[in-house]
């Protein structure tokens, strides 16, 4: 696969980066992404003279699964327990898991 990281990050502006912290066991980034297509009800749009430009703000966190699950307030307790059980099962096989969550930041 030929992937150019600069092309992959085109249109992305980092607003805040919280580097990995071994105590908090997570890394968090907040960024905006420009898009030519508008999703109703998410983000803000402006006319840039070439049509409508649409900007969305995201927050993404990665780290220890138990920390990431705690950050997800919309996960019900039974789903949370299922995730923890699955992570424990991976651990018994010598595999490690990494948690990832993403949300749209409201304006």
Q: Note the pLDDT tens digit of each residue in 1-11.
A: 567 778 877 88
Closest CA to 64 of 34, 105, 20, 33: 20
Closest CA to 103 of 51, 44, 30: 30
46, β-bridge pairs:
53
Least confident of 21-30, 37-46, 79-88: 37-46
Q: What is the pLDDT of residue 94?
A: 96
pTM higher than 0.75: no
Task: Report the alpha-carbon angle 4-104-59, nearest 5.
Answer: 60
């Amino acid at each position: 696969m030929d992937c150019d990281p600069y092309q992959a990050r085109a249109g992305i502006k980092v607003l805040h980066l919280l580097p990995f912290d071994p105590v908090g066991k997570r890394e968090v980034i907040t960024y905006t992404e420009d898009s030519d297509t508008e999703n109703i009800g998410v983000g803000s749009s402006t006319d840039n003279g070439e049509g409508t430009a649409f900007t969305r703000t995201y927050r993404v966190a990665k780290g220890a699964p138990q920390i990431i699950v705690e950050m997800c307030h919309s996960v019900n307790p039974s789903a949370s327990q299922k995730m923890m059980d699955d992570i424990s099962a991976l651990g018994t096989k010598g595999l490690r898991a990494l948690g990832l969550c993403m949300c749209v930041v409201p304006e």
